[in-house]
Each structure stands twice: as structure tokens, then as C-alpha cells.
Amino acid sequence: MVNKVKVIICGKEYILQTEEPPSYVYGLAKMLEKKLNDMCAGNSSVSPYSAAVMVALSTLDDLSKAQSNFDNVRMQAKEYVDEAGKARIERDAAMKEVERLKIELEQLQDEVRASKA
């Protein structure tokens, strides 16, 4: 369902069409407004356009770093899954060996009993 959401950023009204809930869009607009205000507060000669560009670059930097971190976590998770698979194969092989040794032990015990009889 498409929602029309009206937000005001830097005194300008924007009407956005989005699948997201209005509360989510309002939250984004509030964060953007704060970042823009913080950027302008530090330097009164910064135009709204320049502030928007700097906020956009900062946000892209954050996104890029988050994506890199996500990729690292995904790679680690894949390694853990691969290691778990190898461990499972090793466990299965060890269990088969244990069963084989149990059978061999029983056979040897039977031979010992038979030789004593």
C-alpha cells in the first residue's frame, strides 16, 4: 500500500509516496533535519545545499561502512556454517569408527571366549 507522507525539511514541504509507514518516514525526516541543522550550526556560512551535500556524503560513508561490516559478518557466518558442516562430517566418521571398533571388540572377545572353552 502506497502512503503519501508530508514532511518539512529546512522549511520546505515535501510530499513523498512510499510503502513505508508514515511514522518511519517522519523519523527519517527528523534525523535528516537534525543532521542538516547540526551541519549549519557549526558554520553559519554553509548553505542548505552545501549542508545537504555534506550530510549525503556522511550518510553514504556510514552506509558503505555498514555494508562492509555486514559483508564481514555474512562471511564469518558462512565460515562458521562451513566449519560446522566439516565438524559434523568428522563426527559422523568418528561414530562409524566407534561402531566398527565395538564390533571388532565383540569379535575379539568372542574369539577369546572360544579359545578358553
Where are the chain's structural domains? Answer: 1-45, 47-117
pLDDT digit string (tens) for 42-92? 787 888 899 999 999 999 999 999 999 999 999 999 999 999 999 999 999
pLDDT digit string (tens) for 6-24? 999 988 999 999 999 999 9
Asked if pLDDT for residue 117 goes beyond 80, the answer is no
Quote the Cα angle for 47-50-51, to 5°: 85
pTM over cut 0.75 = no
Q: What CA–CA distance (Å, rounded) separates 84 from 61?
A: 34
CATH 3.40.50 is held by the domain 1-45 = no
